[in-house]
Amino acid sequence: MGAQKEIASLVNKLSPERTRLLIEMGHALTRSVVADVSAESDIVVRAFEHDFSGRLLLFHAMHDAALTKKTFEYFFCGSSRAAGRQAYQTSNSVYSGEDVVVDGQKFSLKTESGQSISRTSIHVSKLMEARWIRECETQDDFCTHAKTRVKAHLAHYERIVSLRSFLADSIVKYEFVEIPKEILLGISRLCPNDFSKKTANGSSRATVRGSDGSVWFVLSLDGSVEKITVRSLPLRLCKIHATWEVSLLSH
């Protein structure tokens, strides 16, 4: 069945109210998206970009807020399938490893948004849950657990992608950024003295540096909410696969 016949068949099955919704979605898809894709991207190929752009238009026909992590997971899988790849989300919501698998490759997906988002550095609010932080008392404890547990967590997936969103002047800009796994594995160079002493809420932090001594990011062990956070990771150390700009309909 051709696309036009399929749409006509669908309309015949819909109530007037739902037909109007279908028309509204159709009008949304006629709008333009400003997309800029890196020629070196192996993820955001042409079919992926076109599909993802369409999904953004449909989403923002109904929402002013940026995509949530779970919505990003759905979009990532859908656009990967549109590009001819096999993709699925992990079914266990409490599993702490990969979020999606594309052609056998495991991805961890993150989102970042808000008024305080930096244009030049990345913030991963939850790299992983870490109830074990409560067991740490000394700098040596924090170092030993962090290096062992974070490295074990990172072993669950091959790639990490963050969808960063910026809202300004009725336009949402999305930045599709890959965080190199080897940067996060820089924790292997940490020593006990790199960690701060345990705070009143059971937290500690350490600055992770490259082999040349340059600052890569701050690893924060948050005892109050029992999670690991990555702070102040320079965008220049990451790979921007693509950006999209979408105008909001409500403005």
At residue 114, the pLDDT reads 85
Determine if residue 229 is left, alpha or beta; phi over 0 gives left, psi from -120 to 50 gives alpha, anything else beta: beta
Residue in the block written with tokens 């028309």: 23
Q: Are residues 12 and 123 in the same domain?
A: no
Based on the fold, state whether residues 52 and 131 are members of the same structural domain.
yes
Tell whether 94 and 77 lie within a shared domain: yes
The closest of 164, 44, 181 to 111, measured between CA atoms, is 164
Distance, in Å, from the CA atom of 35 to the CA atom of 12, rounded to the nearest integer, reads 35
The predicted pLDDT at position 25 comes to 76
What's the confidence (pLDDT) of residue 92?
Answer: 64
Q: How many domains does the chain have?
A: 2
Same domain for 170 and 57? yes
Please indicate, yes or no, whether residues 142 and 207 belong to a single structural domain of this protein: yes
Residues 3 and 99 in one domain: no
If asked whether residues 144 and 183 sit together in one domain, one would say: yes
The pLDDT score that the predictor gives to residue 251 is: 43
Distances in Å between the alpha carbon of 180 and those of 4, 122, 127, 162, 166? 43, 12, 13, 11, 22
Helix boundaries (H) for the chain: 3-13, 16-29, 46-60, 69-82, 139-154, 181-184
Q: What is the mean pLDDT of each run of 10 residues along the chain (251 residues)?
A: 76 81 78 93 97 94 88 97 96 75 97 92 95 94 95 96 92 96 96 96 96 95 94 97 87 43
Domain with 10, as residue range(s), is 1-30
Residues 6+ apart with CB under 8 A from 205: 195, 196, 218, 219, 220, 221
What pLDDT does residue 148 have? 95
If asked whether residues 3 and 100 sit together in one domain, one would say: no
Which amino acid, 13? Answer: K
State the Cα–Cα distance between residues 97 and 87, nearest whole angstrom. Answer: 16
